[in-house]
Structure 1
Amino acid sequence: MRPVAVLIGLPGAGKSTVGRLMAELLRVGFRDTDEDIARTAGQSIAEIFAAHGEPRFRELERAAVRTALAEHDGVLALGGGAVLDSGTRELLAGGPVVHVDAEAHEVLGRGDGLTGRPLLTGDTATRLRELAARRAPLYREVAGATVPTLGRTAAQVTQAALRALALTPVR
């Protein structure tokens, strides 16, 4: 694995925000596999789910993660469900993986960050809690470090993630 940091966690946890801040401080590139998938498919994530279903999205996600892990040497944010794939978990094992650990109620309290997420349609609170319960063990399995977000700003989470990976910002 080539990235200096890989961020995992629930949808809306702040992976992309923290990832961009980390990349800026480290003066490396930032990459988000959800953005890769949408660009490659020529459709938004929601459109992919609607037209082709979750199984097709997961195929695209698996390929995007595999490619990004092989090519990208900066900070990488994975989609919240990337850890569902056992092959992806194997690729992440032992790598510089940080679980951006946001509690469901915290994510829900942030407002619009969950709009348009296909797995959270309907009763968003219930769906997010279900995702959190199902994915938490997988996040723990692959993360070398866990950084709770509760009561922290994005900048504080970023600093904690950098410390957890023993990465020093470039001055």
Structure 2
Amino acid sequence: MAVPRYILMGPPGSGKSSVGRALAASTGLDWRDTDEDVSAGAGKSIADIFLADGEDAFRDLEEAAVADAVATHAGVLSLGGGAILRPATQALLEQAAGAGAAIVFLDVSLKAASPRVGLNKSRPLLLGNPRQQWLTLMEARRPVYERLATQTVVTDDLTPTQVAAVIEQGAQA
């Protein structure tokens, strides 16, 4: 199993993609995003998968994409915000941590996440009242993020490059 060096997880607006790209650039590792894998494999956007096929179908595709990425990618891996919801994915992340992967929870406050997320319709779980939906998601997901994380970085007042530097420092500690 080629375990990723870094696996980034967190809620919408935490910076998983932008930090992933910055971390890959600073370490010379390849970057991969499981949401991009799901979209490419399905031939449609995440929002379209949710609308046409439903959340359960999306989560099935996401679970398979994470399993493939963890098994084959040795660089920086950014997960979709809800990827950690499936027990099989949680077990896989625990195994990856045991094999040396840094499982990084990118934590962020609603205040900092709001301008990053906006009212983006490509985020189907935040439709309606995005702030309340985000808070509800975080209430349910925070315990899982915290349990799985080998490192937590609050991204509120940091640029992606600064977050990447904090992650690298933490991995060396």
Which consecutive residues of structure 2, in runs of 5 or more, have no partner in the other structure?
none
Q: Secondary structure at the match of 2:172?
A: coil
TM-score (norm 2): 0.92
Q: 1:140 aligns with which of 137, 140, 146?
A: 146
CA distance in 2, matches of 1:59, 1:111: 24
Q: Secondary structure at the match of 1:165?
A: helix
Q: Does 1:22 align with 2:23?
A: yes
How far did residue 104 of structure 1 move?
1.8
Tell me the equivalent position of 2:131.
125
Q: 1:160 aligns with which of 154, 158, 166?
A: 166
Per-residue CA deviation, residues 85-134 of structure 1 (Å, 9 max, x unaligned), is 11111111133100011112211033548441000001000000100111
- Counting aligned pairs with the same residue, the percent is 41
CA distance in 2, matches of 1:42, 1:110: 26
Matched residue type, 1:97: I
Give RMSD over aligned pairs: 1.4
CA distance in 2, matches of 1:153, 1:162: 14
Tell me the equivalent position of 2:63.
62
Q: Secondary structure at the match of 1:146?
A: strand
Q: Does 1:86 align with 2:87?
A: yes
Matched residue type, 1:124: P
Cα 1:96/1:40, change in 2 over 3 Å = same
Matched residue type, 1:79: G
Which consecutive residues of structure 1, in runs of 5 or more, have no partner in the other structure?
none
Matched residue type, 1:123: N
Matched residue type, 2:152: T
